[in-house]
Amino acid sequence: MTETVRKAAVAGQFYDANPTQLKQYINELKDDFEILATSSNKTRAVILPHAGYLYSGATAVKTLLKTSGYNYKRAVVLAPSHRVAFKGVALGNYSGFATPLGTVEVDTSAVSELAALKSPILGISNQPHEHEHALEVELPLLQEIIPDIKIIPGIVGFTDQPTAKKLAELLLELWEPDTLWVISSDFTHYGRSFQYLPFTDNIAENLRELDLGAAELITNLDLDGFDKYLERTGATICGAAPIKILLAVINQAQNNGENIAAELIDYTTSATQSGDYSHCVSYVGISFRAVQC
């Protein structure tokens, strides 16, 4: 592994570049939500949005706070590729990821072990990471809510259902109680500029129905249903690929005897802030817990 630290690419755009103000903003969001008492049902994974904090920060923080009270040694962070086209998962060849709050350490041993598998759909490539915001945006939140956690960073390209299942087999060893899975995804991108106008009337209501239809399939851990829903509706969920991988991993874990329950934590859209439903993006927070039988 190289000792290169990936520099922050979107500080000052998606979140504040000033460390004092950034820390204050995240902690103000934390203060807005009650942290529930710890139960034996440990949070194992979360789906978080990755837009600017003004729009999606509250949803991300509210969801990530479901990890409070539990200990994690690392996080698998999977985010979609917005700039580079490829198939499968590209792991970052870095020793750390810099943010205004410091450097998040990479679990380089785990990355090396995955790279040693020599899979054509799981390997090391920095190119998809260089300018990608979807993974970076989650890091300051992790730094404030789960301090000192290491990450296994993956950018996800094209992933159909069979590929998701193959990736799940390769990544299943990382599905363990001490490893939190963080899936980065915004939900529907609606509007002419996104080339997605499935309806033009009652946009807020129809958009909510569309988004929550997808969220219901995810919380039901229904990989096949989610895949078919995307095909049927064309829903522009940018993190659909990492979500498929997570569902495939959970399905395999359940086949091995685990019991996982998912919960929708929050739902909002950018129009809540902007008032503009002609061009808006939806944000969903979902948590996944291991249920003791």
- 178-218 pLDDT, tens digit per residue, is 999 999 999 999 999 999 999 999 999 999 999 999 999 99
Q: Return the percentage of the chain with pLDDT > 90, whole number.
A: 93
Average of per-residue pLDDT across 224-236: 98
Q: pLDDT-derived band of residue 41, with 50, 70 and 90 as boundaries? A: confident
Average of per-residue pLDDT across 281-293: 92
| pTM for the structure as a whole | 0.96
C-alpha 131: how far from chain center: 17
pLDDT surpassing 80 at residue 36: no
Q: Return contacts of 198-207, CB within 8 angstroms, 24+ apart.
A: 198/233, 198/234, 203/277, 203/278, 204/269, 204/271, 204/277, 207/269, 207/277, 207/280, 207/282
Query: Where do the domains of the chain lie?
Result: 5-290
Question: Distance between CA atoms of 230 and 199, rounded to whole angstroms?
Answer: 16
**What is the structure's pLDDT at 32?**
86
Q: pLDDT-derived band of residue 139, with 50, 70 and 90 as boundaries? A: very high
For 5-290, CATH gives 3.40.830.10
